[in-house]
Structure 1
Amino acid sequence: MWIILSSCLWTAQAQNKQVEANLVWNSQSENAAGSMPCGGGDIGMNIWVEKGELLFYISRSGTFDENNTLLKMGRVRLKLSPNPFDAGSTFKQELVLKEGYVKVTGTKAGLQTEVKIWVDVFKPIVHLELKSNQKTFAEAGFESWRNEDRLTKGKENNQNSYKWAPQGEVKTFKDSIAFKNNGLLFFHQNKDFSVFDVTVKQQGMDSVKGKLFNPLKHLVFGGSMQGDGLMPSGTYTGSYSGVAFKGWKLKNAKALNAINITITLHTAEAQHINNWESELRKTATIKNKQAFEATKNWWKSYWERSFIEMSSQQQPLVAQAGKNYQLFRYMLGCNAFGTYPTKFNGGLFTYDPGLIDSTLKYTPDFRNWGGGTHTAQNQRLVYWPMLKSGDAEMMKPQFDFYTNLLRNAELRSEFYWGHKGAGFTEQLENFGLPNPAEYGWKRPAGYDKGMEYNAWLEYEWDTVLEFCMMMLETESYAGKDVKPYLPFIESCLNFFDTHYSYLARQRGSKALDGNGHLVLYPGSAAETYKMAYNATSTIAALKTVLGRLLELKGGSEAQRETWAAMLKRIPPISFREFDGHPTIAPAKVWERVNNTESPQLYPVYPWGIYGVGKPGLDTAINTFKYDTDVLKFKSHVGWKQDNIFAARLGLVKEAAEFTLLKLKDSGRRFPAFWGPGFDWVPDHNWGGSGMIGLQEMLLQTHKEKIFLFPAWPKEWDVHFKLHAPHQTTVEAVWKNGKVELLKVIPESRRKDIVILVK
């Protein structure tokens, strides 16, 4: 049972919190698998030193080619003479978390050299700043494996939208790379024909093609590299991790003690490359001596917004989990201002696939489950933790992804079924249509062309409602104006109302059942319970989003009447028993089990219908403990949510066990490069679900109440700062089995704090 402690006892002042425990490596890496992430704005790099040479990959949000592969910019190789990283040198590579950069230092026989690598958070520029106590020659090589066209065959097509079902030859087209103006210019310019055109034709939508949003058309991305005293110095060829490449060298003719190299990036729709290049030059020529200070200040405020630091004398994995929570949040912060959301299958930090699976001798552009393909069940876990970490601004790229596709989703409903509402499929392209491989090329004659012919994805429409809920929650957590999102949210809800009425009328004369409820059939409880009747995950989503809309201060009277009327049409959640224990059922009935998710617990998380301090908690706990499918599916790997469910249910022992498994070191040199799990490395939905579970162990809410430590082991010490609804922040220290500090902003919310200790 819980012991409820009064929050009035603690009024101590918050401590000045600094980000601690920078990640330090004192030896060089064997290869890119030992790389360290670094980035900012919307740029990510993998940095490592190998055999005395500093290397890094550069990735950027939104760089999709004709096949919808998320291409890297390239790889940079820095060679120095005299070389501070030669054998026998004293070496140090450090991720300076507080200020968001990587510092590499080498000392040998009186030579002392430092290279600082950082990204301007506010402009797409990568900086290398070298300082040495001896005059140094620098050779900066830009390496590309896209120096010529490359056929992608077999599993390599998993990096693009064709996946396992390419229709003919698939080719990754070469980039344009050349020396120019004492530097290097590189870019990829999409050809007119792309996977968008293939998908539109496949799905029979040619007649409305001109109305569809196409983000691949005329897309150009790339950049330029230049440096102090550096001049073109020829080309070279080589092979890395089994993949051939070509390199372009810039080298300084005169040795210098300080050398600054910049790589400026630009991505835009441009029919003429001259226009794109002109905009790139504008960015490259803007000089701002305060850029690093502005970037440092951004990271400083980022770390001050929230944190979790924890330890235990009995359990060393506790501190490890806290460290990895922080490292993963750093990776998320590197795409704070992306054109596109952070991808669940590697984000901006993928590397050579042959170093993950030796059979995959593909280029560094490879990632499993596609580049421009959006898998909503996975993406949601990357973005939910940003509410409690105070990073609502970083959710905009994810919201923009959906709102940009609203008209395409509405056109699908109108085109195929003749009704209103935005129907979003589970595996969705960045142009709003179902992934062509998942849609299916071999389809029965007469099969509904609006449907995916797919055992996992058929009738799975409801994941978009989680993003609707996130949009709504940014109002309470961060004071955001959600009115611009209301048309999107209403259209998503309207789809369920109109489409299931439409389907009911295909079967008979009535749109509703005998109780006046929608008949949510055929449906899907996640990807697991298929051909479901009244899936619990869908019902919980509709009830919660509609209920949240009715709590909004905005909205017209007509809108509120519409929302209230639809809420009445949502059927109730179904239940079943195991050995006399009542539990939440995944649906009223279903035909088969197809995957290993536990959507019967989605009313616990994300929907919060059941949980600590709420009615029916015992039934939800029974579901976690006795449902035979839930027991069979339990795991900490990848997108599994058992750590979150346990925390939401106040199950301290189970929450602790799953969280420590989820957030322990990855087994790779960078401890938060988890995976591949069910997806890829680094597995961002693994990290996101770990973040969520840890947050829920510390802070949960119900109505006006804020529960602290609802699933926290008494013997674990923690200092945290997290965000709560009504623009509230809570900072607390739990140490030696008691609260030593509690700060609540605004102070008026202190009365709502309930400290629960089991």
Structure 2
Amino acid sequence: MNIWLIFLAGLLSHLPAAAQPDEPATLDRYNVVWTSPSRDASGSMPIGNGETGLNVWVEEGGDLVFYISRTDAWSETDRLLKLARVRISLSPNPFAKGLPFRQELVLREGRVEITAGEPASQAALRLYVNAAGPDVHIDGEFKTPTTVTSTLECWRTERKTFENDDELRSSWTMHSAPAAVRKDLVWESPDTIISDDNAVVWHHRNEHSVVPFTLKHQGLETIASTFPDPLIRRTFGARMSGPGFTLARQPGVLRTTSPISSIALRITTHSAQTPTASAWRDDLRRLDAAAPADARKQTAAWWREFWDRSYILVRGDPAPAAPASDPPPRNTHPLRIGADSNSQNVFRGYMPHAAIFDHALTAEEILRRADDPAAPAPWWQWEPADGRRAVPPRPSHKLTLKPIGEAREGTPMPDGPALVFEGGHFEAPAAEIPEFPGGFTLDAIIAPSELSPARIFDKMTAGGDDGFIFDTHPGDALRLIVGNQTLSATGVLKRGQWHRVAATFDPASGRLALYLDRKLIKESSATFHDPAPPSRVTQAYILQRYMAACGGRSVSGDAAFPIKFNGSIFTVEPAFTESQTHNPDWRKWGGDFWWQNTRLPYYPMLAAGDFDLMDPLFRFYESAAPGARARARLYHGAEGLYFPETMTTFGTYSNGDYGWNRENAKPSDIHCPWWQWAWQQSLELAQLMLDHAAYTGDRPFLTTRAIPMANDALRYYDSRFKRDEKGKLLISPTQAVETYWNGVVNDAPSIGGLHAVCDALLSLPSAVTTPDDRAFWQRMKDATPALPTWTVSGKPAAAPAESFTNKRSNCETAELYPLFPFRQYGPGKPGLDLAINAYRARVDKSHVGWTQDDMFAAMLGLTDEAKSNLLAKVGNSHRNFRFPAMWGPNFDWLPDQDHGSNILSTLQLMLLQCDGEEIRLLPAWPREWGVSFKLHAPNQTTVQVEYRDGRIQRLVVTPEYRRANVVMPPAQ
């Protein structure tokens, strides 16, 4: 990218950008409004200031409740914990059943407003987090004097150990730790609650840390000083107080001394590493005293500025069908019995009965025995090949069921044959499996020989939401997944015992149900019927951008941690997502940062103009850079740096990924094959930093942060890998992300990243570079091989690597990483046909989570595919949750920030693509959709467009001279 114009633009006066006339009013139409209370945390609304967040809900007939979270509340075991739950009780109670109720997320001012009760005795409450500080506010008025009780609810009341590895995975840094390590090191202390001058103060303090053990385990003791320890002596918690409140007798409870007509409750949060808990409390007291009186005004002003930066308002996108009318999603996978789509999660044991019904059986029908004349006929039922068993009623269809691996028909018991699973599974071709538009029932008799996560029936991409699963996850449970709906009942199966199990899905009602031994044990709850927005696509864009701002900004200057891809700071009890019974501190994939996941929220921040939200990502990896450089020298004798794909808060590998058994292993040996040889993370980070400089024109950032990071990334490749006889890099050992592990040389992500970073650096003006740097960049550019290609179905196409063993271990499309994120293919560039052919031939197709099909399609100008992927993504909010942007869990956790962020990127790329000085408008936009948008482009540029009736009706480019760089869409 030519960045010279960045600095030229700073010398030119900008023409004022005309505001979209109806934009403020339109944003207000996307406020989330509920006219009934919620049952529990699955019906919570998120609010936050980027560093401190709340999940807010009102229980019907009960109380106002919220979780408090921070982005830096890290425990001794490297888990990101909640601060606590707070319950506010009112007497008389305006939330009593049957009374008027309204809860509204006021986006423009970043707060939740609640009104409840009859008009004459109405309560009006406002909740917000100060945009400029760590304080949470609950303000409001009561027409009837009201007694208020505010109760702190802490669940960390005793020392916590981790006997269950599923629970320990919420650390990930210590997952799968041996028993001795768990006993000595993997534990968390209880919280402390203190009464302090009519205030409730509580904190969690880490007096030990897993960091020293980890550095020793990974052979890093000699360079330990280069790694930070963000855990030791970290103390986090809050102070709750308010005028008219006094301490009650019970610990952690505040109560008004008499009924009040207004409330101004404040909760000041704090997280810091301090010498003592007393020092932390002193800091907290100072922060609380400094809380501004006009916090609501400050907060509203920040949010108004945020929404004025950019916007996208879509018109004409179809409203998704009501959730109850969705049939099971379709895919091209065979039906598997006993394994998932990767032939993993295998069932071991016996299955003498397996049947499918093409509708949801009722509880009464489930109770009927097969020999009951009134029993419904199955759509399909397994029958032994020798025909020894023919139980009426006969099935209406046959399937071509074939064994894969160690699976067979046998007679393991005296009373009849069974399917025997000893590590293999059975498959039926996808062509023989219908859509089941009327729903289905999956029915089996099983005797599991071990209690591990095991598929009974499977027709879904592993980790996706494009089909259905009936399994035993996490081992002793029954779980049904249909699309993005999940229902689970834990602790119900016994090893070696016979169980009759069934799962039903009824699309007419949206109901999922699980049966054990013919008895109903779990069913899904009813869905909410909240008002639909004018545009689902617009709503998804607005709410996801809002979520990023709520959980991804450093307010204090100290919270330099990126957005957690697996839920941000808005996770709740896992029981609502996948029915795990852990407390609200648990999240799947734990506290570590997967680069492939962590990066995705940050790409759309460029076009949105949310540059301040990007800084925590950059600072986090910059803080890990000294250790990364030292490790590169120690492990590989290389200069520069690389970052582990999965990185702890302190810059190391997770110990479980690094490998617990180090017998005969070198310190540099990484045992986890999914990312043991992944190197391109630093190139992507460098490109993001260079893009940030290109968009903002921030010269100090460019010269002191972006260029040094890029140089370190390039030096690692330069010093680590050999050259061939032509002087080209031979990048090996390496891998093509998580999909291709073996025999990989010159992986496409690395090659694309090297070209992208070198091109961006070489386009910089000489005034901001040195001759030595430029010579180095040119040498690296010359040493980088061409993008790899191969032939697929008789057509030339982009390849995952120059050479590789063609065995897939995950579902990434590595061959298109040079397209996204590295922009090496695209309109007007050579090889566009190679990228399109690769897209058409890709093995895995997905519209969920971190997968990139939607961005690929938009960048290739494939409008119909970009549109269909976008609409599918927008419909992915979990049905158990009320807030419309609770995506997932998909591959990650809920709310899935990768999924939501890819909605932002896809929509932006359909509207605006920038490369060098070029600004390409509407490269993949459906003609039948209208849109108004304001987005950012490089060189401190904004572009505003009004598009309707298939034409651009209005275009404003600021500064005006950049209009010459605009490429209009066809027929404009």
- Tell me the TM-score normalized by structure 1: 0.92
- Matched ranges for 1:218-617 at <5 A: 218-235=233-250, 248-312=252-316, 319-334=535-550, 335-337=552-554, 338-358=559-579, 360-371=580-591, 373-443=592-662, 445=664, 447-480=665-698, 481-485=701-705, 486-500=707-721, 511-531=722-742, 532-553=744-765, 554-591=768-805, 592-617=807-832
Matched-pair contact (CA < 8 Å) for 1:67–1:172? yes
State the Cα distance separating 1:665 from its structure 2 match.
5.2
1:190 correspondence with 2:200: no
**Which AA in structure 2 matches 1:598?**
T
State the Cα distance separating 1:518 from its structure 2 match.
1.3
Structure 1 stretches of 4+ with a deviation exceeding 6 A read none
1:69 correspondence with 2:79: yes
CA displacement, residues 141-174 of structure 1 (integer Å, 9 cap, x when unaligned)? 1111112112222201111121233533332211
Q: Secondary structure at the match of 2:599?
A: helix
Matched-pair contact (CA < 8 Å) for 2:932–2:944? yes
1:44 correspondence with 2:53: yes
d(CA) in 1 for partners of 2:228, 2:798: 40
Matched-pair contact (CA < 8 Å) for 1:162–1:437? yes
**RMSD over aligned Cα atoms:** 1.7
State the Cα distance separating 1:750 from its structure 2 match.
1.2
State the Cα distance separating 1:336 from its structure 2 match.
1.9
1:755 correspondence with 2:968: yes
d(CA) in 1 for partners of 2:189, 2:276: 18
State the Cα distance separating 1:419 from its structure 2 match.
3.0
Residues 444 and 456 (structure 1 numbering): CA distance in 2 closer, same or farther, change over 3 Å? farther
d(CA) in 2 for partners of 1:636, 1:22: 26
- Matched ranges for 1:107-256 at <5 A: 107-108=117-118, 110-152=120-162, 153-160=164-171, 161-166=173-178, 167-169=181-183, 170-192=186-208, 194-235=209-250, 248-256=252-260
d(CA) in 1 for partners of 2:669, 2:647: 13
**Which AA in structure 2 matches 1:522?**
P
State the Cα distance separating 1:277 from its structure 2 match.
1.4
What is the aligned partner in structure 2 of residue 505 from structure 1? none
d(CA) in 2 for partners of 1:68, 1:520: 33
Matched-pair contact (CA < 8 Å) for 2:317–2:536? no
Higher helix share: 1
Q: Secondary structure at the match of 2:200?
A: strand
CA displacement, residues 576-608 of structure 1 (integer Å, 9 cap, x when unaligned)? 112321100100111332111001011111111
State the Cα distance separating 1:260 from its structure 2 match.
0.7
d(CA) in 1 for partners of 2:727, 2:249: 75
d(CA) in 1 for partners of 2:656, 2:17: 58
Q: Secondary structure at the match of 1:304?
A: helix
d(CA) in 2 for partners of 1:665, 1:596: 19
State the Cα distance separating 1:108 from its structure 2 match.
2.4
Matched-pair contact (CA < 8 Å) for 2:935–2:944? yes
Residues 117 and 533 (structure 1 numbering): CA distance in 2 closer, same or farther, change over 3 Å? same
Q: Secondary structure at the match of 1:92?
A: strand
What is the aligned partner in structure 2 of residue 504 from structure 1? none
Structure 2 gap ranges (5+) = 1-15, 322-533
d(CA) in 2 for partners of 1:390, 1:422: 29
- Tell me the TM-score normalized by structure 2: 0.72
State the Cα distance separating 1:696 from its structure 2 match.
0.3
Match among 35, 44, 49 for residue 26 of structure 1: 35
**Which AA in structure 1 matches 2:581?**
K
State the Cα distance separating 1:444 from its structure 2 match.
5.3
What is the aligned partner in structure 2 of residue 722 from structure 1? 935
State the Cα distance separating 1:699 from its structure 2 match.
0.3
What is the aligned partner in structure 2 of residue 15 from structure 1? 20
Matched-pair contact (CA < 8 Å) for 2:789–2:798? yes
Matched-pair contact (CA < 8 Å) for 1:41–1:120? no
**Which AA in structure 2 matches 1:709?**
L
Q: Secondary structure at the match of 1:542?
A: helix
d(CA) in 1 for partners of 2:635, 2:820: 33
Structure 1 gap ranges (5+) = 1-10, 236-246, 501-510
d(CA) in 2 for partners of 1:109, 1:424: 59
Q: What count of residue pairs does the alignment treat as equivalent?
A: 719
What is the aligned-residue identity percentage? 37
d(CA) in 1 for partners of 2:834, 2:633: 41
More off after superposition, 639-648 vs 176-185: 176-185
**Which AA in structure 1 matches 2:98?**
G
What is the aligned partner in structure 1 of residue 372 from structure 2? none
**Which AA in structure 2 matches 1:682?**
P
d(CA) in 2 for partners of 1:351, 1:465: 34
CA displacement, residues 461-498 of structure 1 (integer Å, 9 cap, x when unaligned)? 11221111111111111122311212222112211111
Matched-pair contact (CA < 8 Å) for 1:603–1:610? yes
Matched-pair contact (CA < 8 Å) for 1:41–1:119? no
d(CA) in 2 for partners of 1:749, 1:565: 32
d(CA) in 2 for partners of 1:115, 1:31: 19
Q: Secondary structure at the match of 2:102?
A: strand
